[in-house]
Chain A
Amino acid sequence: MTIFPENVSTYGQDIDNLFWLILVFASIAFVISLFVLLYPLIKYSSKKVKRAEYITGEKRKHFKWITIALLLLLGSDFVILYVEHDTWGTIESVPAKADVHVGIIARQWNWIFVYPGPDGVLGTSDDVYVDEMNSSLHVPVNENIVFELRSQDVIHSFFLANARLKQDALPGRTVMRWFNITKPGKYDISCTQICGILHSKMRNYVLAETLEQYKQFTDSLYNANKPAVSINK
């Protein structure tokens, strides 16, 4: 059993590594705390110790242990914050080199994919909207896929576990995010914001394929969809 599903994105490994880093800190803290909690129950049991010591904790020599522990915790906090910062910036901002633009529109209860058409630009009249149940978003591997995320009705959330990417889709706003898949395959898209009775059935995929396969797909898609589909928001 692996802890995480397979990571196929460029920044996914950073997220996994962050998890392990926090786990190291948390585990150390947990083991030490359990010792501090449970050991006195044995060592100072009333069967062994008849009279407790009168310690109020106001004295420095007693309190210093807590100060040390808190400083260690503060230190690990700063390490976590430092490590996370870079990856956060990477994921939350669109890279300069954007290879492919797509649109992803959430609705009750399906994911709509918008391909930019032969001109490669989203928002023009040759965009193709694909709104089929359980459809796949075709993307080429090893390319920066920048997407515009929208919602037609309520709040949904786009979760691509194998890329370690999640982003809420709010009606009334467009959020731009990106991913870069390194291995061809079919990866689950889940909706991670409860959106109604068929929330469990919102089930689509990202299909990462070679550039040739991707071009084949878009060519046939664009050919099948001339003249242009009217843009409906």
Chain B
Amino acid sequence: MENIHHKQSFWSKYIFSTDHKTIGTQYMIMGMIMAGVGGYLAYVFRYNLAFPGKSIPFYGMLGPQAYNAFVTIHGMIMVFWVGMPVLLSAFGNYLIPLMIGSDDMAFPTVNMLSFWIFAVSALVLLASFFVPGGAFGGGWTMYPPFSAQGYVNLNPNFFQALFSGTSLLILAVALELVAMLMGGINFLVTTINKRAKGMTAWRIPIIIWFINIAAVIFMFSVGPLVAGAFMLLFDNILGTGFYDPHRGGDPMLWEHLFWFFGHPEVYVLLLPSLGVLAEILPVFSRKPLFAYKTIIYLALASAFLSVLVWAHHQFVAGIDPRMATFFSIGTILISIPFAGIFLAFMATLWGGSIRMKVPMLWAIGFIGLFLVGGLTGLFLGSNTFDIYAHDTYFVVAHFHYTLFPDIFFGFFAAFYYWFPKFSGKELNASLGKLHFWLTFIFFNGVFFLLFFNGLAGQHRRINDYSSFSLISKEPYQTFEQIATVCAIGLMLTQFIFLYNFISSLRKTKKAVKNPWEATTLEWVADSPPPHGNFNPYPEVYRGAYDYSLPDVEDDFTPQNIPKV
């Protein structure tokens, strides 16, 4: 059974490609560019926090409106235009067909369209900076009535309201969600229908399971937000009163449907990276993944629980205190299945033969940092303590200790791991180690001290703390400066990665097909895999983690090796 290689023009090969690998790469590059934008925004406001009132190099003077806009769009970008495209779209697109032994996604054209809709959404988002009034500055959470004032403020010019920062942001998010929904359908149908012969459900690698569970969570939880986003848009451009209490509407409705999506969304972002860990840890321990089936059941339990805990973001919002108790219980208990998954990951290491290569460094670093993030979640899940900690830098530090390892350490672990497959070249390991250690140290330098600022009562989204006596004294101002210096260091460190990436692509030395000696199917394909991926298509005879089988000499047995 041969591939049908057909002649492709430049446009159909690189720009409007329907090949999942190209589309995955496009998502990754777009995500990296947006990470640069989001990082720049963070640099500007962090500089302002450390040295208030000073002109910021490579920006200028930062006024309060711009400050609010920058913190808002920084958050929006990192969740929707970096986390989602890189962890879900790039990983999913690139890995699913390769790891299930298929030629491509089920719907390649829809796949291609989804990327271009995503690209347009990014443009709409960036355009929002340049319209009159500038980008929206009310937090990535976009709470009305503040976010619904477009009509009131620009009444009654429809086009002014439509091309305002607020409306453009809503449109950008809507387009991005549509792109992700299209991708999600593709992932699910491909994984269910296009697996190689012999790949039963319990032989599917964890990352594929997790990406699909994430897609299901996403599609279920985003529905009410899509409806609600239309309503917010119409409040802005047409003057409806869905969220206006003077018109019978209710701002609390938005809070509920935003967080009904927003909380599962963080697990949508987390699961693919956990999947990356699940692939890397066995390879570099030469040992099967510990409790594979249990991990899947725990992930399903977490997915189910994740849609029941959203109002822990609203403990002080004025919800019924009894409802808050319910959500506090759920939030604190959801730590159990996730702890179970992490414990199983760590158990994989015990009794192994550990190779501390660069992907493993990132994986271990991920777990260590995520532990801090996850455990600080316990503080916030307690409704009583959250009364104090809500909207302080304690929260900011908490979610950076979860999201940054998730998005960045997860991405880098995956990148260093799969780079030989996707490019056919090898990355420089020494630069990789330097990149890891500097990122790790600088990241902690930015965010660890901010826990203390938060506990001291420093509230969020403030551009100037000079009138708040609790914060504007030492050592908190010094902590701000340390955080900013480390943030700059963190960003500059990424140039090491970029240099490594680009210079490695230009090397002539080719990587071997399976440099890490892994068992999953993508390592059977050539490096890089051609259009159609496999020739011939593999057949699967065993699970994904057959390392160090007792009666086999090799310490790994790929999935496509028959049982004797």
Contacts and interface: CB of A to CB of B under 8 A. Distances in A.
Contacts of B246: 171-172
A199 B68 contact: yes
Contacts of A51: 286, 353, 548, 555
A5 B458 CA distance: 10
B174 interface: no
A12 B342 CA distance: 35
Contacts of B516: none
Interface in A40-77: 40-41, 44-46, 49-58, 62-63, 65-66, 69-70, 73-74, 77
Nearest to A164: B388
Interface in B140-177: 143-146, 149
Contact of B387 (A57, A165, A188): A165
Interface residues of B, number: 94
Contacts of B65: 197
A44 B287 CA distance: 11
Contact of A56 (B291, B383, B465): B291
Interface string B320-361: 010011001100110110011011101111111111100000
B379 A1 contact: no
Contacts, number: 275
A154 interface: yes
Interface residues of A, number: 83
Contacts of A201: 464, 467
B549 to A, nearest CB: 6
A57 B143 contact: no
Contacts of A62: 290, 347
A155 B145 contact: yes
Contacts of B68: 194, 196-197, 199
A30 B348 CA distance: 18
B294 interface: yes
A52 B352 contact: yes
B555 A55 contact: no
B387 A166 contact: yes
Given A161-B470, A166-B391, A192-B460, A40 B291 contact: no
A42 B388 CA distance: 41
A178 to B, nearest CB: 13
Contacts of A44: 285, 349-354
B454 to A, nearest CB: 10
B553 to A, nearest CB: 10
Given A18-B385, A41-B354, A164-B388, A33 B346 contact: yes
A194 B138 contact: yes
Interface stretch (A21-29, A95-103, A115-123): A21-29
Interface in A172-219: 172-173, 175, 188, 190-201, 203
Contact of B318 (A1, A54, A168): A168
A26 B354 contact: no
A46 B516 CA distance: 14
A40 to B, nearest CB: 4
Interface of A: 1, 3-5, 14-15, 18-19, 22-23, 25-26, 29-30, 33-34, 36-38, 40-41, 44-46, 49-58, 62-63, 65-66, 69-70, 73-74, 77, 80-81, 84-85, 87-89, 91-93, 153-155, 157, 159, 161, 164-168, 170-173, 175, 188, 190-201, 203
13 contacts: A18-B382, A29-B375, A44-B352, A51-B555, A53-B352, A55-B351, A62-B347, A85-B384, A91-B384, A155-B143, A157-B316, A171-B245, A190-B468
